[in-house]
């Protein structure tokens, strides 16, 4: 009679392990990056490129996020760090595969079109090529220069995260799609608005995400906004006004450019979800809440944008 219970517990443990691998292993960030790139392409009425583009985006994103945890030998109180230490042999193996896959994407997908990529729009191309450098500066320089890493400054952490994500998902997909067609791309205000929209949204999420790292960042003497202002002031005097301003500006932009009701409603929904999450964070939440819900808002934004863009054909 105990066999079904044992099997059920084993299934629950296996499922819990898969969920932790998805979020703690940073694979979820790769899914979010792919979804946001799809949103950008559909919103700008581009055909989706081949699977190698999205596989490359996924592998590069996951590889970069995992770099901060590779090589840890001593477990800490941070759940992600504990997971990487517990799965150390596996993480090295996966990181090697991600490195090979990322390099393969750069060579087979990008290299044949690199000269076209640069010719599409030099300003966009330069900004896109600077993204890896910004990410490197975020984690810090080697040796004595490590203290000058941008994540050690009060606004450096969310600004760099917002800039890198917004540049990756707003500019890079369009540049790549135009390079395949050898079509020059002029700077349009739509791309600029999309970049600012993505930056503000992810900048806000980066600040909210710091709530879960409050004790760790305090121990490491990182000057995050949460540590400087405190939880309540950050939520209600900084985040809430930013979300309301972003929501109001997007509605105004949509009305001025004659967005259909279907597209407008679906693109407003992520802001409403963000407001709900901000309100819910008045009380401390479990660590997985920040991984699944706060970061999950990036995926929600992408899905809502995709539905809004596809639905304009029918509504």
Note down pLDDT in tens along the chain; length 315 residues. Answer: 445 566 656 667 777 889 999 999 999 999 999 999 999 999 888 889 888 889 999 999 999 889 878 766 666 677 888 898 888 888 889 999 999 998 888 777 776 666 665 555 666 666 767 777 777 776 655 555 555 556 556 667 788 889 889 989 988 888 888 777 766 655 567 778 888 889 999 999 988 887 877 666 666 666 678 877 877 888 888 899 889 988 888 888 788 777 888 989 999 999 999 999 988 888 878 888 888 999 999 999 999 999 998 887 656
Question: Domains of the chain: which residue ranges?
Answer: 16-311
Residue 245 confidence (pLDDT) = 86
Residue 37 confidence (pLDDT) = 96
* Helical H segments across the chain, by residue range: 3-24, 27-43, 51-66, 79-86, 88-105, 114-120, 122-139, 156-170, 172-181, 189-209, 214-219, 225-229, 231-233, 240-256, 261-280, 287-289, 296-311
User: Could you read off the pLDDT of 158-175 as tens digits, one per residue?
Assistant: 888 898 899 899 888 888
CA distances from 264 to 235, 252, 254 (A): 26, 10, 6
């Amino acid at each position: 009679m105990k066999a079904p219970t044992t099997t059920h517990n084993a299934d629950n443990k296996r499922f819990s392990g898969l969920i932790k691998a998805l979020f703690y292993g940073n694979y979820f960030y790769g899914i979010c990056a792919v979804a946001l790139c799809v949103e950008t392409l559909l919103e700008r009425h581009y055909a989706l490129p081949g699977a190698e583009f999205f596989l490359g985006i996924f592998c590069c994103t996951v590889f970069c996020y995992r770099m901060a945890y590779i090589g840890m030998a001593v477990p800490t109180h941070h759940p992600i760090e504990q997971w990487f230490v517990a799965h150390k042999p596996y993480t090295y193996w996966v990181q090697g595969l991600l490195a090979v896959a990322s390099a393969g994407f750069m060579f087979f997908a990008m290299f044949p079109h690199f000269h076209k990529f640069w010719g599409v729009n030099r300003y966009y191309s330069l900004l896109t090529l600077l993204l890896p450098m910004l990410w490197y500066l975020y984690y810090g320089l080697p040796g004595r220069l490590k203290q000058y890493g941008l994540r050690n400054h009060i606004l450096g952490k969310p600004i760099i995260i917002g800039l890198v994500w917004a540049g990756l998902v707003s500019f890079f997909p369009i540049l790549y799609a135009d390079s395949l067609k050898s079509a020059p791309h002029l700077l349009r205000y739509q791309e600029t608005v999309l970049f600012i929209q993505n930056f503000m949204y992810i900048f806000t999420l980066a600040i909210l995400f710091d709530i879960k790292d409050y004790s760790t960042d305090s121990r490491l003497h990182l000057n995050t906004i949460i540590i400087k202002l405190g939880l309540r002031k950050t939520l209600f005097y900084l985040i809430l006004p930013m979300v309301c301003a972003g929501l109001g500006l997007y509605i105004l932009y949509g009305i001025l450019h004659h967005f259909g009701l279907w597209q407008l409603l679906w693109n407003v929904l992520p802001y409403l979800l963000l407001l709900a999450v901000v309100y819910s964070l008045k009380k401390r939440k479990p660590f997985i809440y920040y991984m699944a819900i706060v970061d999950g808002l990036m995926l929600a934004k992408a899905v809502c944008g995709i539905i809004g863009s596809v639905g304009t054909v029918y509504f």
